[in-house]
Structure 1
Amino acid sequence: MSHEGQRIFITAGGAGIGACLVRRYLAAGARVAYCDLDPGEVPDGALGLQADVTDEAQMLDVFAQVEGWMGGVDILCANAGTGGPAAPLQDMDFAEWRACLSANLDGAFLAGRWAAGHMASQGRGAIVLTSSTSGQWGVPTRSPYVAAKWGVLGLMKTWAMELGPSGVRVNAICPGAVEGPRMERVVAMEAAARGVPERDVRALYAEGNSLGTWVTAEDLADTVLFLTSSQGAMISGQAIAVDGHTERMT
């Protein structure tokens, strides 16, 4: 799928799914800008900026730099988020609750608000938000994360309605258990909260879907590039699970 000449902005593009998206869009011929708390080694041809997606002042500065560098935006991947804490409801810390919701929702809101202005005025564009299968199921001990990812789907549905008349499509991807360091930290955290071995939690994630496996960042990137391509021109307002078909959560 070619994205030749398109202008892409990705939040949390320094590692994991976001870094995979940066690489794949560059390979597809796009101009790519991204931000992250740690932008890492910026690939040739990309603009990588350091920013906290929950800080409006920092993000406004990022948007100004992106506009100066590529003049606007055609595709937004609002990918930033955090797994938050794991604890039973009665033990959940309120500050950790708020931090998790902010990282997952405030970041998406700020990036979406900025991108919507450009896309609506030019009469085209595509936004993909990163939710989770946790945004479709409940997960014991993960109240903040689940609430945030359900909230992301609410944003997606609402923005698809608001922006559709202007030619802008909005969808969400719902990853399952994604191979990589972030999910390994989640497994360790959940295992500690439940008092079980990490291997048991990891196995439950695989056993909970029909294909019996975890997914990769490349799997997610394949879906995002399709959704934002001309082949996905009639897809909007959808929560697309890339998870091997979740039958149950851990």
Structure 2
Amino acid sequence: MDLNLKDQKVIVTAGAQGIGLAITAAFVEAGAHVHICDVSEDFLASARARFGHAPVSYSRTDAMFADLAQRWSGRLDVLVNNAGIAGPTLPVEEVALSGWDQTLAVNLTGPFLCTRRAVPLLKKNGGGAIVNISSVAGRLGFALRTPYSASKYGVIGLTETWAIELGPANIRVNAVLPGIVEGARQERIVAAKAAAYGIGHEEMRQRLLSRVSLRKMVTAQDIANQVIFLCSPAGASISGQSLSVCGNVEVLG
């Protein structure tokens, strides 16, 4: 299986933390040059320390495309729209409009804005790949997570639309749908849902896992592996797909 991405030019949004950091590391291991953006200077500093002299460059989100115009002379092979936020964990009648707006701005408008800027570069390069990080909440309803679930369903709509639109330009577009991913962010979500339901943290955790066929969380590395496959020569004929990496989440609640 050919997973070689040597010298490919790759953008990973929110690539300095969590799933994004695992994706960045996987692309570096596959031989790619990676540009990561993040809103946190602390996370960017940590990523610089981790990758050292590896072919990784960094910027704040708003400076990303301006930096790349100089650094890579406008070349781009892969865009990974990874940036996202959890949004509020509340009954729908308690969700403030500000919480709705912020979640959709980051999770749905963000991928649109990045893709709008990236597509001319991908076309100039003769094609490439876009991977959007959605969620299993983009295929299953998710109680108490109205803005998040709506935004992740929207990401799948973007994916399928762009795959049709950009396919003639040799640009593949797919979505990866993580399930319950190990890490600090997931534990914060578990804590918020436990509080909303009035139960203990561990009880909430086990309730979530009881609805996963494999009875376990997935890892950030599991997500990164799928992204690499989709962007590599091994995934050259895959487009318009929404691929879950979730241990088969049966229902969210």
TM range (shorter): over 0.9
Superposed CA offset, 1:12-70 (max 9, x none): 0110110011111111111100101122322232111123xxxxxx2xx3101022112
Measure how far apart 1:204 and its partner are. 2.2
Match of 1:40 among 35, 39, 45: 45
Superposed CA offset, 1:112-154 (max 9, x none): 1111111123321000000000000111110000000000001
1:117 and 2:120 aligned: yes
Match of 2:30 among 22, 25, 28: 28
User: % of aligned pairs identical?
Assistant: 40
Letter in 2 for 1:35: C
In the alignment, is the contact (CA less than 8 A) between 2:14 and 2:82 conserved in 1? Answer: yes
SS of the residue corresponding to residue 131 of structure 2 reads strand
In the alignment, is the contact (CA less than 8 A) between 1:205 and 1:214 conserved in 2? Answer: no
| Partner Cα separation in structure 2 for residue 91 and residue 229 of structure 1 | 44
Superposed CA offset, 1:66-117 (max 9, x none): 2211232100100000000011111111101110111101110111111111
| Partner Cα separation in structure 1 for residue 193 and residue 207 of structure 2 | 11
TM-score (norm 1): 0.94
| Partner Cα separation in structure 1 for residue 11 and residue 248 of structure 2 | 29
SS of the residue corresponding to residue 244 of structure 1 reads coil
Q: Report matched runs for 1:88-237 at 5 Å.
A: 88-237=91-240
| Partner Cα separation in structure 2 for residue 24 and residue 108 of structure 1 | 21
Which structure ranks higher in relative contact order (CA pairs < 8 Å, sequence separation ≥ 6)? 2
Measure how far apart 1:200 and its partner are. 1.9
Superposed CA offset, 1:174-224 (max 9, x none): 000000111111111111122221112211222112111100001001100
| Partner Cα separation in structure 1 for residue 24 and residue 72 of structure 2 | 15
Deviates more, 1:173-182 or 1:198-207: 198-207
Q: For structure 2, which runs of at least 5 residues remain unmatched after alignment?
A: none
1:49 and 2:59 aligned: yes
Superposition CA RMSD, Å = 1.0
Letter in 2 for 1:98: D
Letter in 1 for 2:182: E
Q: Report matched runs for 1:62-77 at 5 Å.
A: 62-71=64-73, 72-77=75-80
In the alignment, is the contact (CA less than 8 A) between 1:15 and 1:40 conserved in 2? Answer: no
| Partner Cα separation in structure 2 for residue 202 and residue 195 of structure 1 | 13
| Partner Cα separation in structure 2 for residue 189 and residue 119 of structure 1 | 40
1:19 and 2:21 aligned: yes
Match of 1:240 among 243, 248, 252: 243
Q: Which runs of 4+ in 1 moved over 3 A?
A: none
In the alignment, is the contact (CA less than 8 A) between 2:77 and 2:125 conserved in 1? Answer: no
In the alignment, is the contact (CA less than 8 A) between 1:105 and 1:152 conserved in 2? Answer: yes
SS of the residue corresponding to residue 132 of structure 2 reads strand
Letter in 2 for 1:22: T
Q: For structure 1, which runs of at least 5 residues remain unmatched after alignment?
A: 52-57
Letter in 2 for 1:182: R
Deviates more, 1:66-75 or 1:23-32: 66-75
Letter in 2 for 1:123: G
| Partner Cα separation in structure 1 for residue 83 and residue 125 of structure 2 | 25
